Amino acid sequence: MTATRVFSGVQPTGNLHLGNYLGAVRNFAALQDSHECIYCVVDMHAITVWQDPAALKQATLEVAAAYLAAGVDPENHIIFNQSQVPGHAELAWALNCVARIGWINRMTQFKDKAGKNREKASVGLYAYPVLQAADILLYKATHVPVGEDQKQHLELARDIAQKFNNDTGAQDFFPLPEILTPPEAARIMSLRDGSAKMSKSDPSDQSRINLTDDADTIAKKIRKARTDSDPLPENKDGLENRPEVKNLINIYSALAGDDAETIIARYAGQDNFSGFKTDLAEIAVSHFGPITAEMSRLMDDKVHIEAVLRDGGARARAIAEPVLRDVYDLIGFVR
Ligand code: TYM
């Protein structure tokens, strides 16, 4: 197998934010000119923690709307929700029997999400990274655009693929998928705390910019974003130990397309952040305004989004089914 295939997914839990967009979704659109792409709304991953059913449906449509608004073409590529393709759960079971408990015990995301009360976490939350490996391998995907927080899960997917290939003696059966992270936006941090990742689950809405925020809210959040009392740095070395400032410069760089040095030179030595923040807010609003407007236009026509997901689901099943049949043959299941 030499062709490349891109697969990625986003959980329909809560609002999509700037980190999801810059770390992943923007890249989804960028890759479609050069690759065959499959983008999934991973609703089966979402239920590893309790979801209100109506909210889950709404969030699933919203994530699909975000893919479309970001420019993913659902005709030449595939947009679907995971639960429409039974192969994800079926392959996950087979891979549960390949992955080792020791490997899963090292997953930091499980430790973070389960917290102190690990005994009360769902079995699904624990097995989550194996389902993620199944998502990717079910399509023999070669490249996976994600933020840096998914690196460990991607390495696990490679280990599982390698062990399956070795165990079954089918050396090149699953390609070892490669992670694609955007250079300046692989890890966008909270606007309130430069040591914490921007996250859907942060209790403070001020910590993130949501894709559904209006222009005033975006501007206000950037104005209030935490910085420090020193002037803006003179050069890149001046960003050391200033995680909040570094984060804002990274966001500026990712949105404006300028490199960090150029941005630093533009504001060097200014003794407060107000000019920088005003410009950043303007750039963010002009970037997100059209996306937000398109998302809300799409959300007024849910029937259309559902049709996109159904059509994508059928096309995803057509790719997945023969792969799963081959997996079952390699395992020795009678069909
Ligand atoms: P999820 O839903 O948490 O996040 C979706 C995507 O957004 C990226 N991301 C970030 N990037 C930069 N800075 C941030 N602060 C930030 N926060 C989130 C994530 O890295 C991700 O790319 N397990 C995955 C979903 C998944 C998946 C898959 C991804 C399930 N199966 C198969 C790829 C392939 C997750 O929870 O993403």
pLDDT of res. 2: 52
In three-state form (DSSP H/G/I as H, E/B as E, the rest C), the secondary structure along the chain is CCCCEEEEEECCCCCCEHHHHHHHHHHHHHHCCCCEEEEEECHHHHCCCCCCHHHHHHHHHHHHHHHHHCCCCCCCCEEEEHHHCCHHHHHHHHHHCCCCHHHHHCCHHHHHHHCCCHHHCCHHHHHHHHHHHHHHHCCCCCEEECCHHHHHHHHHHHHHHHHHHHHHCCCCCCCCCEEECCCCCCCCECCCCCCCECCCCCCCHHHCCECCCCHHHHHHHHHHCCCCCCCCCCCHHHHCCCHHHHHHHHHHHHHHCCCHHHHHHHHCCCCCCHHHHHHHHHHHHHHHHHHHHHHHHHHCCHHHHHHHHHHHHHHHHHHHHHHHHHHHHHHCCCC
pLDDT at position 226: 96
pLDDT below 70 — which residues of the chain? 1-2
Question: Is 120 tagged catalytic?
Answer: no
Active site (annotated) includes residue 277? no
User: In angstroms, what is the span from residue 81 Cα to ligand 1's centroid?
Assistant: 15
Q: Is the pTM of this model over 0.95?
A: yes
The pLDDT assigned to 303 comes to 98
Alpha carbon of 149 to ligand 1 centroid (Å)? 7
Q: Which domains does the chain have, with CATH numbers?
A: 5-186+301-331 (3.40.50.620), 213-296 (1.10.240.10)
Ligand 1: nearest atom to the Cα of 145? 22
Binding site membership of 136 for ligand 1 (Cβ less than 6 Å)? yes
Is the distance from the beta carbon of residue 197 to the nearest atom of ligand 1 less than 6 Å?
Answer: yes
Q: Can you tell me which atom of ligand 1 is nearest the CA of 197?
A: 15
Q: What is the pLDDT of residue 70?
A: 97
Q: Which of the listed residues 11, 13, 150, 209 should we mutate to test ligand 1's pocket, taking the one with most ligand atoms within 8 A of CB?
A: 150
Which pLDDT value is given to residue 1? 43
